[in-house]
Structure 1
Amino acid sequence: MKIRKLPLALLAASATFTAAHVNAAGFQLVEHSASGLGRSFAGEAAIADNAAVMARNPAAMSMFDTIAVSGALSYIAPDVYVRGNTGVSDIDQALTNDDVVPGAAVPAGYFIQPLSDKWAWGVGMFSNFGLSTEYPSDYAAGSLAGETKLITLNLNPNVSYRINEQFSIGAGVNAVYGTAKLLRNFGGDGSGPFPPSGTSAYLEGDGWGFGWNVGGMWEINQNHRFGISYRSKVDLDFKGEYHSDIAAGIPSSNPFPTGGQTIGGELTLNLPDIFEVSGYNRLNDAFAVHYSYVWTGWSTFQEIDATSEGIGSVLNKQEQFSDSYRVSFGGTWYLNPAWELRAGMAFDQSPSRTHKTISIPDNDRYNYGIGFTYHLSDKGNLDVGFTYIQGKEGAFEEELNESVSIPFISKGDAYIAAIQYNHSF
């Protein structure tokens, strides 16, 4: 099967609320560091206070004069619900799931080595996209619900070059590995519009994709600098399997019926490009402000179209995402040589503004972050960050078939904690 137009949502077509699993709209992950989490990732392409800056701007590696390493672990605890909105109590109760998204850990690691006073190189391992959602096998709208998992790992080697005291540039390549699973159930009790229990669609596979990233840094002086970066689209080419318990031979069925038989195929996931511009201004010895604007090219995601060789389309779903943006603002307090405190907030625009579905009932959200750095020694320090994500509640209708639409309400909050150790040599 082959999925076009950012078909990561194929995996979400089982009535999943991907956005609440993550710290950015759609199913984008921004949990690259604990230091960034504590400031709502404001100023990430310009601050360069540890090696994790590589995930946002390769040009910032030019600011390091010794080897630097960072390792981070974030834990996301979502609080997401999807509820029926028909006005009929029994139906709404059957359509309700108050625990859509399980908790998840997101690791990241970075290494930077200066080669001379001009050149530096480094490598990062992190994730820009991911999701995990679960509905009970007997969920009433079972043909829209089930289990969804997407895990991606970006191996990102980079190089930077310092042009002069003020300007640096950097570039890298992205080797992205992904695994994906989709299970959609019939669900229900066999009455009304919901078919009896069974698997209406099952997809699973893994694969690789490749892309590139570039960045620039303008250091006006040691207290004022600006960063800009761009990360290209990545097409993940999956090899996978598909099957359905729908009896073979049923005409015009979506998903395609195989009667339980497994068929092979391929699936392509088109991840969007990301553009970021950031600033950092240290106003005095005690306080600095920082800010970011991030644009994500979600308009590549218009539909899900899974195909299998010799068969054609086995699953099709409209999503109609739009490009979205994220703005953030934060501050850092340098209390003394041992302690730094930080805070920030962000607004994250939903890409599903004109066409919401139960597969990705994404809404705008606000992020509030706090955190600190404790310097253990001249060489090592510890970062801790916390963020609360407050999502807006949204109402929409999901089309079960050509004649039946089901109204829903969804809302997703999340709590994120992260810890990180940084060391220089």
Structure 2
Amino acid sequence: MLTMKMPDPDIQSIESALATLGQEDTSKLSIPALSRGVTSFCAEAALLQFVVTWARHSPSATVASFLGLDSTAGSFETLVQKQLGLPYVLAAWVFANQLRDSNDRVMKRREAKGFTAFLDAMDNFEFHSTHETVETRANLVCVQGSRREFIRPFYEQLNNAWRVRPEGDVRVVVQDILAQLAENWTAKYLREVAEPLSHLIRELVENSDWWARADHRGVEYEKGIRAITLRVRDVDDDSLLMFAGGNTHIQTYLLYNLVNHPRVRKDDEPGSRGVRRYLSFLELTMVDSGPGLALRWLASRPENKRSVDRLDDVSLEEEEDAVIECFKKWRTSSGNSLRGVGLFSVASLLQRRQGFLRLRTGRLAFLFGTQSAMSDIENQLKTRDLSGDYDRLADGTHVFLQDEKLVFFLRPWSTDKLSTVEGTAYSILLPV
């Protein structure tokens, strides 16, 4: 059995690894120890999605080999707990058919007893204790079929059923998270960031609740995971390339904000190499292991429902049309006519907060948020006869309009052909 290495924590490496699945025996995956350097922006969600895709590719034969673990060592439980503080490592622990340590000894899933401490911390609103990494972050995770299947801070029980809390309650939770991640923020600024962020998070949680816990036929998954992570990272001129992970879209976005954002801090102390700029970014990731946007929409849309088991049975054009329908205003597959502004409202909030988005689902990836793309799109719209709330440009960019003005867009991440992934992953950056 060949061993596939976990890809490096950048988008290009992850997409390259996805392309190898199915080309050879990739049923064994090696999980490195924690010291992997900086995880570039948008890569953490992609890593979790990669692990789920790898595991479902051959679900009865997958082996996850944890290189940093020795099951006979006295520090074993402590090291397991540290590693499971990263959601993509947890996904490997949950989804793999067999777990092995660095000496190829078989491990039992129940040996991750310490992970319950992270769930306890999440339930007790001690968000800074939901991991044991050195990062300023919070993990909110639930595993399908477990005793604590829902992300409790965002859910409440009503008539013995779990449902997403009202937005006001979610806002309190988000403020609490931010207060623990950014202790130097004023109460006023905390509320300013929490208000749009709580709306965004609630919409994503509710959408994953509708779309991700069951397959496109409505059958609940035996194994599944949903994860929300928030991390705050300071980026400066020297670390920008590292956080961009070699990706020009992310690099362009970070650089523009380092130059133009009003909250940029400058270091011009004597002896320093010129003026160095600093800016904090909040990264929000939301990943689920559901059927993906297209399959769910095709099976649940209001008219002409179509149940498709494999994306290969759908043209790329039809898949793309299905995903775009999910973002159009008032579209819904939930059966609730009062819903249908969820993803559209998330998109418009990002526009107002100067946010950046990477969306990956099925065979598609889109971006939103670079100033160069926004300027280019607005210039193209000046030459077009606009009507309605949607337009598609010649370069494949999907434009969402209100009163003939740009509200949001989804531009193809690249012109490369992408491999199919399981679930849906949102990576969102907000300058703070």
* TM-score grouping bracket, smaller chain normalisation: under 0.3
- The higher relative CO (CA closer than 8 Å, separation ≥ 6) is in 1
Q: Which has the higher helix share?
A: 2
**TM-score normalised according to structure 1 size:** 0.23
Q: Looking at CA atoms only, which structure, 1 or 2, has the larger radius of gyration?
A: 1
Q: Which has the higher strand share?
A: 1
**TM-score normalised according to structure 2 size:** 0.23
